[in-house]
Amino acid sequence: MSFDLSLVASSLPLIASGIWITLKLLVLSSVMGMILAVGILLLRISGRWYLAWPAMAYIYFLRGTPILVQIFIIYYGLPQFEFVRNSIFWPLLREPFGCCFLALSLNSSAYVSEILRGGVLGVDRGVNEAAKALCLSTRQRFVHVVAPIAIRISLPAYGNEFISMMKATALASTVTLMDITGVARTIVAKTFAPYEVFIAAALIYLIMAWVFQTGFGKLEQATGRYLKKES
C-alpha cells in the first residue's frame, strides 16, 4: 500500500472549505448550550426537589445517550410529528444545520451545567459567609461573589468540553452537512483514497484544537493571576 502525500496536500484546501460550517456550528451550539446550562444549573441548586429532579433527568438522558443517537432522533424523528411541522420551529428543524445545532446545544448544556455546578460547589464556604456578613442578598452573593470564582474554577474543564464539542461537530456529516468531515467524505467518494483524505482532515482538526487549547490556556492565565504565589 502506497501513501500519496501529494493527495494529502491537495485535499487540505478543499477540506478547509468546510471550516466555516464547523466553526459556525461550534460557536452557535456552544453559546446556546451555555445559556441553557446556566438555567439548568439554577434549577439544580435551587434547593427545590420539583425543580432539581427534572434538571437531573435532563442531564442524565443527554449524558447517558450517544450524541449521534440524539442527532438522529432530532433529524429523523421530530419531522414525523405533524405538530412539529406546523410549529414555528419547523424552519429550523427542516434543515440539517438546524437539527445539528439543536442536538449539539442540548448535549453541551448537560455537560456544561455539571461543569458549572462543580465550580459553584468548589467555591470556599468561607467566601459565601463573608459575603453574608456584608449583608449581601442571595442573588448579590451569587452574581457578584460566587459566580466569578466558580467561572474561574470551571474554565479548565470547560475548555476541554469546548474542544470535545468541536470534535463532535464531525457527526453532523452523517446528516449531509458539509462541514470538514462532510467535505472529506465527498472527496473520498471521488478519489477512493480514505487514508490520505482523512489524514488531511485530521490535520485540520489538530490545528483547530491547538488554537482553542492555546486560547483557553491564555484565558486561564489571565483570569488566574491572583492565584499565583509571589516568588
pLDDT in the model for residue 141: 85
Task: For residue range 175-184, list pLDDT tens digits in order.
Answer: 999 999 999 9
**Residue that has been written with the C-alpha cell 490545528 in this structure:** 207
Q: Name the amino acid, one letter, at 101.
A: F
Least confident of 50-64, 114-128, 158-172: 114-128
pLDDT in the model for residue 67: 96
Mean of all residue pLDDT scores within the chain: 92
pLDDT in the model for residue 227: 54
Long-range contacts of range 123-129, CB-CB < 8 Å, 24 or more positions apart? 123/149, 123/150, 123/153
Of 174, 180, 188, 187, whose CA–CA distance to 96 is shortest?
174
Q: Is the pLDDT of residue 225 over 70?
A: no
pLDDT band at 40 (very low <50, low <70, confident <90, very high): very high
Least confident of 96-100, 138-142, 159-163, 217-221: 138-142
Q: Is the pLDDT of residue 198 over 50?
A: yes
Task: For residue range 81-137, list pLDDT tens digits in order.
Answer: 999 999 999 999 999 999 999 999 999 999 999 999 999 999 888 887 888 888 788
Higher-pLDDT residue of 102, 145: 102
Work out the end-to-end distance of the chain between its first and last CA atoms, rounded to an integer number of angstroms: 57
Of 95, 94, 157, whose CA–CA distance to 122 is shortest?
157
Task: For residue range 8-32, list pLDDT tens digits in order.
Answer: 999 999 999 999 999 999 999 999 9
Query: Which of 190-212 are b and which e, b meaning 16 or more Cβ less than 10 Å from the residue's Cβ?
Result: eeebeebbbbbbeebbeebeeeb
pTM of the model: 0.91
